Structure 1
Amino acid sequence: MNVLKPNQRATVITLLERNTPLREIARITGIDRKTVRGYRDRWLAEQAHSPGVATGSEAVVTQIPPPWPPAPASVSTSLCEAHRDFIEAQLLLRRNATAIYQDLVDAHGFTAAYNSVKRFVRNLRKKQPEQFDRLSFLPGEEMQVDYGEGALTLVPGSAAAGKPRYKRPRLFVATLRYSRRSFRRVVWKSGQEVWARLHEQALRYFGGCPQYVVLDNLKEGVLKPDLYEPELNPVYAATLKHYGVVADPARVRDPNRKGTVEHAIGHTQATALKGKRFDSIEAQNEFLEHWETHWAAKRIHGTERRQVQAMFEEERAHLKALPLLGMQYFSQQVRTVCDDSCVRVDHSSYAARPAAIGSKVLVRIFERRIQILNMHGTLLRTHERAERPGSVVLPLDERVFNPSRETRSILRQAAAIGPQCSRLCELLFAIEGRVGQRKLRGIVGLARHYPAQCVEVASEQAMAQGVYSYKRVQALVERAMADAVAAMQAGSDAQPGVATQRPLTQQHSLIRDADEYADLFSQAAALKGELV
């Protein structure tokens, strides 16, 4: 209690004797109400134990202190009571006391002070304390994770520059909900892959996997917070799927859902790291592991009244087995399929078919391979990662056009026509090179309009004449075709009707015996008679 000057103390005692309320005394004197309350209690105690004694011939009179607090002559009512309905309606709109006071003055003729409104609003806002349920989980059911701040650590490279600088790294804590056994690591920077790797290290540290992991809605884990369907980061989601763990993000602004790991972070900061400094991240991680093993794990938990390590040994048997291989991490990007049916990744091109040209695809970049998926996550292609920038990973049969491949295709078509045509095309390509592909394409294209035998004969005649030209071969083919037509017409004129008549086939696997045809005709006639 503050010590007042004699004049102030006399003023307070005088006002107390007049039964003045504490609030009014504080307003008149400018003294804090708590100080006035202390002097009032001391004054009441003196009045109760010290009877008043008169001087001279006056008789001794015992002074009985008045009751405290004094009963008011009449119950005071706040001037805001007449406007209770209006004030309650404004509070439902989340308006503050200042706005309500201004509206009362402007629209309702309110004449009292602002403090009257403030006290009235404060009393209306009193709420019952919120109840929090005690959560209980089975062994191996849940793990809670979160970030905090570690102890001051020397920034790498700052000491060599002559200006040592200390900074607090990020403290990752993973706590098994049943046993309260924790895994702690500090890192300088965080990201999708770092967040996933810390989870993997925690699971390897515990020697098994829980069923669920509860996390906050930080960007490293949750890409888009949502009450019903939160969207996880792809790397984090793939890591949890690899280990068979299901993510259960806490609701936004609901840290009590993961109160166990929140308490573990506070316990680490207040007990293990308070007032400490480390020369490196490795030194701090080594200290945290030693502290967890020798102190935190051996403590008796305040709620369960059991040793943490003993509960962890009980929970260890309920954790799911770890996979044999670790997680293969990747970075995921969205790419557009270019007009050559490829996607560009790190200055190299990779085939993306069957994805359509111009469509969006997901590209997962691993250390040694590339995966191409559609936007729904279905795997389309897998390629070995190119070692040299500028590489094109595109099979020859998927290339729309390539001069070298086109030459081989034309020569295969010429070989299908005949050996003479193939020989002519090879000689023509040897003479003119890739420019002669036009002539080669024209020669093999003659087989679409004329018999292949005519093209073969014309190719032989062209080579005999030493003229390697498409037009020469075309002229020879047309001449051979005309000669053949003329020969056919001449033969039909010399023996009319002979060339057009063909002998009838008497024996064939499709021709039946005459008796079978007779039976068929008889059955058809009988069926027709029945219908009539």
Structure 2
Amino acid sequence: MNVLKPHLQTTVLTLLAAGKSQREIERVTGVDRKTIRRLAQRQAEVNSPTPATGIGAQIPPPRPPANRPSSCEPYREWIEAQLRLRRNYTAIYQDLVDQFGFTGAYNSVKRFAGRLVQREPEQFDRLEFAPGEEAQVDYGEGALTRVPGSDRYRRPRLFVMTLRYSRRSFRRVVWNSSQQTWAQLHEQAWRYLGGATRYVVLDNLKEGVIKPDLYEPELNALYRAVLAHYGVVADPARVRDPNRKGSVESAIQHTQSTALKGRRFESIEQQNDFLEHWETRWAAQRIHGSACRQVQAMFEEERAHLLPLPLTGFAYFTEYERTVDDATCVRIDHSSYAARPAPIGSRVLVRLFEHHLELRDRATLALLRTHPRAQRRGSVLLPPEERPYNPSRETRSILAQAQQIGPATLALCQQWFEHDGRVGHRRLRGVVGLARRYPRRIVEQACERALRDGVRHYPSIQALAEQLLQQALAALEAPVQGELDLTQHHHLIRDGDAYADLFALGAQASADL
């Protein structure tokens, strides 16, 4: 308990005895008016020998009248006109000084004008919901938690789902959020609560809503699929309208100020365990202010009205858009998958699951094709009867480049096209592309060996070209061995004595000079 210091008590009592108002004493001493009032009452009781209502009671000195006229009263009409123009108090005070020679203080104008302003209290429509009808979700900030593998602490994201009828909540903290994390937290909440609500109200965050719109907001595909799996309808709140989901906003604030305030955790699992304990032990046992009932008791009533959960959880996927190539395939993770009946050149949606993938129409989301995931890079999941073998413009362009390299390269590319069809275009482009890194003669020799040995893989052709190039470089750098075969007898070659006389004459001529 805070006790006013003795010297301040003496100062306050002295000013009270001098007839100063409590507001003026507060401005001079900095002591709150409630404290000043208690000191005045205590001093009156000490100085009174009989009860204050009895005979002989000592009446404290009279206070100045509280309703004395303000120094702004002569300017009431002018101030009211300025307030109707929505001018602020500072502008009104400055004009009073400049135009009317006002000598009062700014605070006098502020108090006087504040009493004239008609303030209507902000009103909200309180919405009532049936049990199991609506849940509200949002993100907040959790308590400081140690980052794994370091001594640094930071705040994770706090996910809260609150049932609108009973105010029972599910709370979890995660380090990072994504579309899949957001959807998985919904699943965990429904499993924890034992069922799902008909509607879920969320904010317009990117994990749930791609394009906010008042009439037709666009949800991301993964979140929309998860809601459909559990039979839940999303109801995104309007932009900058947090009051639509006031229950979860209050739950987040209550969690941060009561459960997590001033706490630190060594791991995110420790914080989640604490939140679950706190929800069961304290938050669910509280008496809700507006309902005047225990949260857990209302939740027991609501539990029977929640939607039953499906037997299996949702299978999560990653969604891509791909173009159908002229081989009627789409390429995912370096493998090709048949896309018929989608036409060549069209865009399709690819949903990539853990063990399989789905091809869907981009406009209607109708299922076109299902394939198991390829186990090896470079695989082609296309039945032989669906492979197009008629040459396209790309086929003719590749074969023309192969012909420029050499006849063996052209023969190899034609053989591969007859076997694979247009699906083999990628390998054919790889073969003719070797001419950009190796001499054409090397590529031609590699293709000759591939034809002779029946090689059908591009990496093998590339390895052959690299091997031939290294052999050619080694042959150029090898030293010349052995002696040259010199001719010893010829009609142009003279005797050795003739060359000796010539050298002697040359030496004598040099000496004479």
Is the pair's TM-score, using the shorter chain for normalization, greater than 0.5? yes
Contact 1:403–1:434 (CA under 8 A) maintained in structure 2: no
Code of the residue aligned with 1:146 in structure 2: it is D
**CA 1:8–1:144: 2 relative to 1, 3 Å:** closer
SS at match of 2:315: coil
Residues in 2 aligned to 1:343 and 1:5: alpha-carbon distance in whole angstroms: 86
Code of the residue aligned with 2:141 in structure 1: it is E
Code of the residue aligned with 1:68 in structure 2: it is P
Structure 1 residue 241 corresponds to structure 2 residue 228: yes
**CA 1:366–1:9: 2 relative to 1, 3 Å:** same
- Trace 1:501-512 onto structure 2 (pairs within 5 A): none
Matching residue of 1:68: 64
Matching residue of 1:151: 143
- The match for 1:263 among 241, 244, 250 is 250
- The match for 1:127 among 104, 111, 119 is 119
Matching residue of 2:133: 141
Structure (1 or 2) with the larger CA radius of gyration: 1
Contact 2:360–2:369 (CA under 8 A) maintained in structure 1: no
Structure 1 residue 280 corresponds to structure 2 residue 267: yes
Code of the residue aligned with 1:194 in structure 2: it is T
Structure 1 residue 318 corresponds to structure 2 residue 314: no
Residues in 2 aligned to 1:278 and 1:33: alpha-carbon distance in whole angstroms: 41
Matching residue of 1:184: 171
| Count, aligned residues | 382
Matching residue of 1:497: none
Matching residue of 2:472: none
SS at match of 2:276: helix
Residues in 1 aligned to 2:321 and 2:172: alpha-carbon distance in whole angstroms: 32
Matching residue of 2:335: 348
SS at match of 1:248: strand
Structure 1 residue 390 corresponds to structure 2 residue 372: no
Contact 2:330–2:337 (CA under 8 A) maintained in structure 1: yes
- The match for 2:157 among 148, 164, 170 is 170
Residues in 1 aligned to 2:41 and 2:284: alpha-carbon distance in whole angstroms: 55
Residues in 1 aligned to 2:412 and 2:205: alpha-carbon distance in whole angstroms: 63
Residues in 2 aligned to 1:150 and 1:319: alpha-carbon distance in whole angstroms: 28
Residues in 1 aligned to 2:295 and 2:11: alpha-carbon distance in whole angstroms: 62
Contact 1:335–1:361 (CA under 8 A) maintained in structure 2: yes
Contact 2:361–2:368 (CA under 8 A) maintained in structure 1: no
Contact 2:156–2:176 (CA under 8 A) maintained in structure 1: yes
Percent of residue pairs bearing the same amino acid type: 57
Range with greater deviation from structure 2 (196-205 or 176-185): 176-185
- The match for 2:296 among 271, 286, 309 is 309
Provide Cα deviations, 1:45-70, integer angstroms capped at 9, x if missing partner.
9999999xxxxxxxxxx999667327
Matching residue of 2:201: 214
Contact 2:338–2:381 (CA under 8 A) maintained in structure 1: yes
Q: TM-score, structure 2 length as denominator?
A: 0.59
SS at match of 2:370: strand
Residues in 2 aligned to 1:46 and 1:289: alpha-carbon distance in whole angstroms: 53
- Trace 1:107-118 onto structure 2 (pairs within 5 A): 115=106
Residues in 1 aligned to 2:415 and 2:351: alpha-carbon distance in whole angstroms: 44
Range with greater deviation from structure 2 (388-397 or 228-237): 388-397
* Deviation of 1:327 (Å): 0.5
Contact 1:153–1:277 (CA under 8 A) maintained in structure 2: yes
SS at match of 1:139: coil
Range with greater deviation from structure 2 (71-80 or 375-384): 71-80
Residues in 2 aligned to 1:226 and 1:272: alpha-carbon distance in whole angstroms: 35
Residues in 1 aligned to 2:260 and 2:37: alpha-carbon distance in whole angstroms: 47
Matching residue of 2:85: 89
* Deviation of 1:400 (Å): 4.6
**CA 1:117–1:132: 2 relative to 1, 3 Å:** same
Provide Cα deviations, 1:323-346, integer angstroms capped at 9, x if missing partner.
122111112234444555544433
**CA 1:402–1:306: 2 relative to 1, 3 Å:** same
Contact 1:175–1:261 (CA under 8 A) maintained in structure 2: yes
Runs of 5+ in structure 2 lacking a partner? 49-57, 393-410, 417-513
Contact 2:160–2:248 (CA under 8 A) maintained in structure 1: yes
- Trace 1:374-453 onto structure 2 (pairs within 5 A): 374-384=361-371, 385-396=373-384, 399-401=387-389
Contact 2:330–2:336 (CA under 8 A) maintained in structure 1: yes
**CA 1:436–1:288: 2 relative to 1, 3 Å:** closer
Code of the residue aligned with 2:205 in structure 1: it is L
Contact 1:335–1:363 (CA under 8 A) maintained in structure 2: yes
* Deviation of 1:320 (Å): 1.7
Code of the residue aligned with 2:65 in structure 1: it is P
Code of the residue aligned with 1:82 in structure 2: it is W
Q: TM-score, structure 1 length as denominator?
A: 0.57
Code of the residue aligned with 1:174 in structure 2: it is M
* Deviation of 1:109 (Å): 5.8
Provide Cα deviations, 1:256-277, integer angstroms capped at 9, x if missing partner.
3333333333443344434443
Contact 2:79–2:113 (CA under 8 A) maintained in structure 1: no
* Deviation of 1:122 (Å): 4.5
Runs of 5+ in structure 1 lacking a partner? 52-61, 159-163, 405-431, 438-532
Range with greater deviation from structure 2 (358-367 or 42-51): 42-51
The CA RMSD over aligned residues, in Å, is: 4.6
Residues in 2 aligned to 1:327 and 1:193: alpha-carbon distance in whole angstroms: 11
Residues in 2 aligned to 1:436 and 1:6: alpha-carbon distance in whole angstroms: 110
